[in-house]
Amino acid sequence: MHRVFRTPALYAVDSFSPTYPEKLSGVLFTDADIRREWRHIDLLIHSPRNNFVCVIENKVDSTEGFNQLQTYQGVIDREFPHCKKLFIYLTKEGDTASQSDWLSLSYGTIAAIIEKICEEHQSGLSSDIAISMRHYVDLIRRHLMSESDIAELCRKIYKQHRQAIDLIYEHRPDLRSDIEAYLSQLIQEFSGSANLELDSIYGRWIRFVPKEWDELGFQKTCARWSASKRLLMFEFWNDPQSLELRLVIGPGDAKFKQPIYQKLQELDLQGLKRCQNKDSSYTQAYGVSVLVPTDYEKGDLEALQDNIRQFWLNYVEGELKRIRNAFSEAFPKNTDSHVS
């Protein structure tokens, strides 16, 4: 207790008068009686040996009630008339108390005080107490400190550890790149058993096709998309917080595009999209979700890879097989393609 009132961090508060810690110089608080919600007061600390009483009114998500501090001060004056008194009004931002006798403190100041105690008295604190105090500081900063306090803390940490933080940032995990690499690996892993081919990777798009589609008359007719000139391809849309698999018809002749979309409609696919299917545009004909934003919350790459692989195994043997079989049966292997 004595360490708290003697901590230099208190002097940084403009409204705090140094006369309080001077009155407590050289005293111990081993006899302190700590009361919670006594006479509705959040926290009361009474040391009979030092003839001292401290009152703390704590406000987190509420404000001071009408005459609340004045009422509490009156109770203390009556119950402890001869004690030295310290009144503390504790809020997230250090809001000014309505009564001039009350010291206004923020939770940021409390965190600084506790850190100072841990630093100056490290050798005298047991490991359990030190860990508990540091955890409490973490809790304050995570849940109670303002954005400005956190920003100031971040600047302080960066200034002290600039080189290490820059290095960490340079080599930070990039889930999107990791997922792209995993999808590429997955497609190539199944190139033989599932007869699939990785076409290209461009930005967020990872494209692949069933190899047998290259024999269909419409497939190598698109000169404005991939170097392979393929008209119909599957695309993984790899965004920072989502992953989708889509079947896309590239820009091309309507005599090819319309029969392709018609066949997809006949399959009554759950992810079929309504679209105009214009000659000059890319047609997002069909799509299914692979990963959603909640999957990314923990940033666990291994879990994401497991989800992707489970989806992939089910899809290759399920809906992908349906689409492939339908196209193989419907479209001839020549340029005069038509729906059978």
What are 264-301's pLDDT values in tens digits?
889 888 888 777 767 677 888 889 999 999 998 888 89
**Residues of the chain with confidence (pLDDT) below 70:** 1-27, 145-150, 171-173, 277, 279, 334-340
In a domain, 339, yes or no: no
In a domain, 274, yes or no: yes
Say how many domains are in the chain. Answer: 2
Last residue of a domain, one of 166, 187, 214: 166
In this predicted structure, what is the pLDDT of residue 19? 41
Q: Which amino acid is at 150?
A: I
Query: Are 185 and 68 contained in the same domain?
Result: no
Query: Are 196 and 128 contained in the same domain?
Result: no
Reported residue count of the chain is 340
Query: Are 110 and 222 contained in the same domain?
Result: no
In this predicted structure, what is the pLDDT of residue 189? 94
In a domain, 340, yes or no: no
In this predicted structure, what is the pLDDT of residue 156? 81
Last residue of a domain, one of 124, 149, 166: 166
In a domain, 338, yes or no: no
In a domain, 37, yes or no: yes
In a domain, 336, yes or no: no
Last residue of a domain, one of 166, 195, 212: 166
What is the distance between the alpha carbons of residues 288 and 271, in angstroms, rounded to a whole number? 6
Query: Are 210 and 301 contained in the same domain?
Result: yes
Bridge partners for 38 per DSSP: 41
In this predicted structure, what is the pLDDT of residue 11? 39
Query: Are 112 and 15 contained in the same domain?
Result: yes
Query: Are 233 and 96 contained in the same domain?
Result: no
Query: Are 106 and 206 contained in the same domain?
Result: no
In a domain, 288, yes or no: yes
Query: Are 49 and 105 contained in the same domain?
Result: yes
Query: Are 208 and 133 contained in the same domain?
Result: no
Query: Are 190 and 64 contained in the same domain?
Result: no
**Does this model's pTM top 0.75?**
no
In a domain, 204, yes or no: yes
Domain that holds residue 12: 2-166
Query: Are 133 and 230 contained in the same domain?
Result: no
Exposed, middle or buried by CB within 10 Å (0-12, 13-18, 19+), for 251?
A: middle
The alpha carbon of residue 7 and the mean position of all alpha carbons in its chain are separated, in whole angstroms, by 35
Q: Is 35 helix (H, G, I), strand (E, B) or coil?
A: strand
In this predicted structure, what is the pLDDT of residue 289? 94
The DSSP symbol for 96 reads P
In this predicted structure, what is the pLDDT of residue 25? 53
Bridge partners for 247 per DSSP: 234, 286
Query: Are 53 and 145 contained in the same domain?
Result: yes
In this predicted structure, what is the pLDDT of residue 27? 63
Bridge partners for 202 per DSSP: 205
Listed in sequence order, the residues at least 6 apart from 153 whose beta carbon sits closer than 8 Å to its beta carbon are 141, 145
In this predicted structure, what is the pLDDT of residue 175? 86
Exposed, middle or buried by CB within 10 Å (0-12, 13-18, 19+), for 270?
A: exposed
